[in-house]
Amino acid sequence: MIGEWLDIGWVDEIPVRGSRTVQVAGGDDIAVFRTGENRVFALLDRCPHKHGRLSQGIVHGGAVACPLHNWRISLTTGEALGEDKGCTPIVPVRISGGRVLICRASTLKAAA
Amino acid sequence: MKMSPIRAPEGDTREHLIVIGNGMAGCRAVEELIARDATRYRVTIFGAEPLVNYNRIMLSPVLAGEKTFDEIVINGQDWYDDNGIALVSGDPVVAIDRAAHTVTARSGVTLTYDRLLIATGSDPFIIPVPGKDLPGVITFRDMNDVEAMLRAAATGGNAVVIGGGLLGLEAAHGLTLRGMKVTVLHLMPTLMERQLDEAAGWLLKQALEARGQTILTGADTAEITGDGRVEAVRLKDGSVIPADLVVMAVGIRPAVGLARAAGLEVGRGIRVDDHMVTSDPAVLAVGECVEHDGQVYGLVAPLWDMCRALADGLVGQPSGYRPAPTSTKLKVAGLDVFSAGDFTGGDGAEDIVLRDASRGVYKRVVVRDDRIVGAVLYGDTADGNWYFDLLKRGENVAELRDALIFGQAFASGGGQADPKAAVAALSDEAEICGCNGVSKGQIVSCIAKGARSLDAVRTGCKASASCGSCTGLVETVLALTLGEDVEAGPKTMCKCTSFGHDHVRREIVAQKMRSIPEVMQKLHWSTPDGCSSCRPALNYYLLCALPGDYQDDQQSRFVNERLHANIQKDGTYSVVPRMWGGITSAAELRAIADVVEKYDAPMVKVTGGQRLDIFGIRKEDLPAVWADLNAAGMVSGHAYGKALRTVKTCVGAEWCRFGTQDSTGLGVRIERATWGSWMPHKFKIAVSGCPRNCAEATIKDFGVVCVDSGYELHVGGNGGIHVRATDLLCKVATEAEAIEMCAAFIQLYREEARYLERTAPWIERVGLDYVQSRLVPDTAARAELAARFFFSQQFMQTDPWAERAQGAAHEHHAPMARFTPQEEMA
């Protein structure tokens, strides 16, 4: 029986206001973010604009600035903020006992 | 509890006005009073919350994370101090003795009043269902509630909001943004039925559902269940909705308990006359707690009018409150909604409706006897103020009738929308700032009193000082009133602060600030942790101010400086090892060639700065690549940084028949001295061995052109979009002087240029004369600058590649986990 959630590691492995990636074989990486308020989010590691690696951006508030052209992407909705239009798929995250769990179904979708 | 002196100072025989309630109505009433007569009353304000006066309407943006508490403060402690008002906060009044003219607070303090003003506002209505007192069931009324919601949202889960009115929808929006799964329960068939008609209510519901909220209309709550804390909400139809948090936002009731206990006449609210005087002539009441002419109010606009009438009465110039039509303008989840007046239709009322499904726009204007009596706008609310103005003035719209629904620009004749004409056409009474109830006329008179900029208007009359959504309108009023004379405010660093770069930097040095959070705290940053513009700038300013002492914040660095390589559009990196002065060797070239082959780099390129750039390296491979390059004696070339990039040289006297000095040797020595230093922007140097200038030294930030008699030192050159040739800074006789001048120039640039300002625009801004005056005549000042540079360099010249190659900051390179679906399924 395969669970609904994938355990990817400890919350503390992600720098505050930073991110780590989960490599998905055959697909896009997933970027896992930890905000200044200690909340954890996961998004496909791909800006809707020119596919920049969001995991390499500056995390501020509840958003990340894409390293390529500074688009701001909401970590909660995956949507581009401000004047820009576009959306990055989000991956549901759960925190359990300090471990970060991401949604298996969404992760599989990233690999598809 | 915060207490200022509350006993009358010796000899102060003024009448004592006590205000119960430190909220929007109480403080606004005092503001209006002070504006009329600042000295007539001695004022004491009691507040139940341990906070200064803040804008309750703006709690929603705080919940949504768009504002901080500091930003929604209307009057800070300085306002109380400056106006001699005693504030007793965190200590609610619990009793009024009208016979003795005293009030008693919870702490036991009892004060005597001459006039008493009750501004206790309203209490949220709690529906009397089983489970309403369970932990996890809260209201949405004050900062405490917001904090409770934020705590709940931190652990995620399900939230149920009971009530699909304005407040409920804002709570739902905020909680959704905070990551909770939100269900809204609304008893009525459409959302916000008091402000919106059915069509607009339906559009709103569709849009909110598209944003992930579940909206249940006609939902009647039966009970809230849970063992020890809330777990679910059960509806009368039997359905059960899981809930980790329940927010009750079904409505408000005037808070009349204190007044009733004191024997004042109370109906639905505290009964007041047109001058806001209660059944006791010494006691007044204002705001949501009152009932005037059988009506109670829950919006801010009537409250501002009441405060004006109250203050007029207090200074002996009674004007009297007359209820005016109200409008509602709100933005939920980015959706604009506006309504005003009576839109129920009925006898003799005509509806003019415009629907534009593709734009998600719905407009309805209700007209009776050629006059607008109501309006509902959804999706495009730009004309809301105009319709509302026509409505309030009772303007005959017969002539505009045909074009009315298309909005002001169209109806006024011009096919082209001219926002300036639209604002010009507004009457003086038209409200510009909804948050603070400021009309166009008040802004114009504020400008007439000398306000010349947006900031001055904000300070002078509060227009645009709260949520800022009317900033454009205020700027237009400024432009219309002053024309060319409007003063632009100082350009701010970014949207997180109202201060410019120079100011922030001066304060960092003056107040000896030591960290980014400290700067944000002390300079009232408006965002919790800044943005991608200000964080790298602050990190640099602190790094420059505290050499060797400041803990560099990696998360405030742009990716290239965090990974010590240049990100490319496919997410791989390019790597440029340092080649001192552009000179290399067989061993270095061999190591580079090996790296290219070993890591399958698809391209190697010679750069404009005389280096080799290896492309297509994966983030995970960077530490290994660096280890290989380090092994051949090469260090980071900083091609990725706001730092010294390269020192480009020509071969000079050693080989060239025209060469006058050892330009390669000097280039290497300069690069050895200056590498590793962080700067406001990238910094390029070149050394040419003769005036033929093969190293292109006159388009570099610092360029040396060797001549027979010494060295010409040039500054402020730049290739790029706007090519700028250097200015000649000075000429020196020896290499040592050239190196000292280079160090001093860099340090001056590091200390005084703004972040992301290259030397070229910096010199154009401050002037070459200024730069020369700091560096050339005063040898002692120059030596000090150079000394500060070299002091700082001792902490900078550690190869970041070597540290990473040995395993430092491993988390920047390695993935956190790997996932292979095939294996999992096997």
Q: What is the CATH number of the domain that holds B684?
A: 3.30.413.10
pLDDT reported for residue A1: 32
Residue B416 has pLDDT above 50, yes or no: no
**pLDDT: which is higher, B746 or B401:** B746
What is the 3-class SS of chain A, one letter each residue?
CCCCEEEEEEHHHCCCCEEEEEEECCCCCEEEEECCCCCEEEEECCCCCCCCCHHHCEEECCEEECCCCCCEEECCCCEECCCCCCECCEECEEEECCEEEEEHHHHHHHHC
What's the confidence (pLDDT) of residue B826? 37
The last residue of one of the domains, among B209, B234, B250, is B250
| Domain presence at residue B342 | no
Res B6 pLDDT > 70: no
For chain B, how many residues are written?
Answer: 826
Contact indicator for B184, B207 with CB cutoff of 8 Å? no
Q: Are B528 and A68 an interchain contact pair (Cβ–Cβ within 8 Å)?
A: no
CATH architecture of A5-111: 3-layer Sandwich (2.102)
Q: Is the pLDDT of residue B781 over 60?
A: yes
Residue B359 lies in a domain: no
Residues B51, B196 within the same domain: no
Whether residues B238 and B258 share a domain: the answer is no
Last residue of a domain, one of B199, B226, B250: B250
At residue B285, the pLDDT reads 97
pLDDT, greater one: B269 or B433: B269
> Tell me, what's the pLDDT at B165?
86
User: Residue A8 has what pLDDT?
Assistant: 93
What was the pLDDT predicted at B469?
57
A23/B819 touch (CB, cutoff 8 Å), yes or no: yes
* Most trustworthy range by pLDDT among B34-43, B354-363, B487-496: B34-43
DSSP per-residue codes, B426-494? S-TT-EEETTTTEEHHHHHHHHHTT--SHHHHHHHH-TTSSS-TTHHHHHHHHHHHHGGGPPPPPPPSS
Among B173, B811, B812, B819, the residue to mutate for chain A (most A Cβ within 10 A): B819
> Tens digit of pLDDT for each residue in B583-616?
999 999 999 999 999 999 999 999 999 999 999 9
∠ at Cα B684 (B679, B690), nearest 5°?
A: 145
Cα–Cα distance measured from residue B501 to residue B495, given in angstroms and rounded to the nearest whole number: 12
Indicate the pLDDT class of residue B489, thresholds 50, 70 and 90: low
What's residue B3's pLDDT? 43
Tell whether B437 is covered by a domain. Answer: no
Model pLDDT, residue B822: 60
pLDDT tens per residue across span B427-479: 787 778 766 778 889 999 999 988 888 878 877 887 876 555 577 788 889 98
Chain A residues inside the 8 Å CB shell of B824: 2
Handedness of CA B514, A14, A67, B638 (dihedral sign): positive
Residue B76's alpha-carbon distances to B52, B80, B82, B87, B756, in angstroms, are 6, 7, 10, 11, 35
Mean pLDDT taken over chain B: 88
Of the three residues B213, B232, B250, the one that is the final residue of a domain is B250
CA distances from B35 to B42, B164, B300, B460, B507 (A): 14, 38, 19, 12, 34
Instruction: Evaluate if residue B194 carries a pLDDT over 80.
Output: no
Which residues touch B187 (CB under 8 Å, ≥6 apart)? B218, B219, B220, B250
Residues in chain A within 8 Å Cβ distance of B527: 60-61
How would residue B824 be classed by pLDDT, with cut points 50, 70 and 90? low
**What percent of chain B has a predicted confidence (pLDDT) above 90?**
57
- Tokens 């505050």 locate to A16
For residue range B133-176, what is the model confidence (pLDDT) as tens digits? 999 999 998 898 999 999 888 888 899 999 998 889 989 999 98
- Cβ of B820 within 8 Å of Cβ of A25? The answer is yes
Distance of residue A5 Cα from the nearest chain B Cα, in angstroms: 12
pLDDT band at B1 (very low <50, low <70, confident <90, very high): very low
pLDDT reading at B195 higher than 80:
no
SS (H, E, C) B266-286: ECCCEEECCCCECCCCCEEEC
Which one of B497, B532, B567, B811 makes the best mutation probe of the A interface by having the most chain A beta carbons within 10 Å? B532
Domains identified in chain B, total number: 4
pLDDT for B429: 79
Ramachandran region, residue B113 (left: φ > 0; alpha: ψ -120 to 50; beta: rest): beta
Question: What is the Cα–Cα distance from B529 to B348, expressed in whole angstroms?
Answer: 56
> Are B732 and B682 members of one domain?
yes
pLDDT on residue B495: 80
The span from the CA of B292 to the CA of B239, in Å, is 41
pLDDT over 70 (residue B188)? yes
Q: Nearest CA of chain A to the CA of B202: how many Å?
A: 23
Residues B43, B95 share a domain: yes
What pLDDT digit, counting tens, does each position of B545-567 carry? Answer: 999 899 999 999 999 999 999 99
pLDDT greater than 50 at residue B342: yes
pLDDT tens digits, residue range B646-676?
999 999 998 999 999 999 999 999 999 999 9
CATH of the domain at B19: 3.50.50.60
What mean pLDDT do residues B218-243 have?
A: 92
User: What pLDDT is recorded for position B632?
Assistant: 94
Q: Which residues of B are less than 8 Å from A16 in CB distance?
A: 555
Which member of B154, B178, B816 has the closest CB to residue A14? Answer: B816
A67 contacts in chain B (CB < 8 Å):
558-560, 567
The pLDDT tens digits of the residues spanning B297-326 come to 877 788 889 999 999 999 999 999 988 877
* d(C-alpha B207, C-alpha B333), whole Å: 9
pLDDT at B268 over 60: yes
Does B69 share its domain with B132?
Answer: no
Among residues B168, B409, B123, which one has the least CA distance to residue B287? Answer: B123
Partner residue facing B811 (CB), from A20, A62, A76: A20
- β-pairing, B371-378 vs B335-341, is antiparallel
For residue B19, give its domain range. Answer: 2-122+254-314
* pLDDT top residue among B340 and A83: B340
For chain B, give the percent of residues with pLDDT over 70.
94
Tell me if B611 is assigned to some domain: no
Q: State yes or no: pLDDT of B490 exceeds 70.
A: no
B354 domain-assigned: no
Long-range contacts from B696-705, C-beta under 8 angstroms, 24+ separation: B696/B648, B697/B648, B697/B726, B698/B725, B698/B726, B699/B723, B699/B724, B699/B725, B699/B726, B700/B648, B700/B726, B701/B749, B701/B758, B701/B759, B701/B760, B702/B742, B702/B745, B702/B746, B702/B759, B704/B663, B704/B666, B704/B670, B704/B738, B704/B742
Report the pLDDT value the prediction gives residue B358, as an integer from 0 to 100: 63
Q: How confident is the model at residue B392 (pLDDT cuts 50, 70, 90)?
A: confident
Instruction: Answer yes or no: is B159 within a domain.
Output: yes
Using an 8 Å CB-CB cutoff, list chain B residues near A60. Answer: 527, 529-532, 535
Long-range contacts (CB closer than 8 Å, 24 or more residues apart) made by B140-143: B140/B59, B140/B63, B140/B167, B140/B168, B140/B170, B140/B171, B140/B247, B140/B248, B140/B249, B141/B56, B141/B252, B142/B49, B142/B56, B142/B59, B143/B49, B143/B51, B143/B54, B143/B59, B143/B62, B143/B69
Q: Nearest-CA residue of chain A relative to B154?
A: A39
Chain B residues within an 8 Å CB radius of A43 = none
Task: Please compute the mean of the pLDDT values over residues B397-413 and round it to a whole number.
Answer: 76
Q: What percent of chain A has pLDDT over 90?
A: 58
Q: Same structural domain for residues B160 and B111?
A: no
pTM of the model: 0.55
H or E element: which one contains B42? strand B41-47
**Tens-digit pLDDT profile for residues B697-728:** 999 999 999 999 999 999 999 988 789 999 99
The band of B2, judged by pLDDT with boundaries at 50, 70 and 90, is very low
Cβ distance of B816 and A57 shorter than 8 Å? no
Tell me the domain boundaries of chain A: 5-111
Rg (C-alpha) for chain A, rounded Å, is 13
Cβ pair A17:B529 closer than 8 A: yes
What confidence tens digit (pLDDT) does each residue in B787-815 have? Answer: 999 999 999 999 999 999 988 888 888 89
Residue B101 has pLDDT above 80, yes or no: yes
Among A62-76, B25-39, B351-365, B537-551, which is the least confidently predicted range?
B351-365
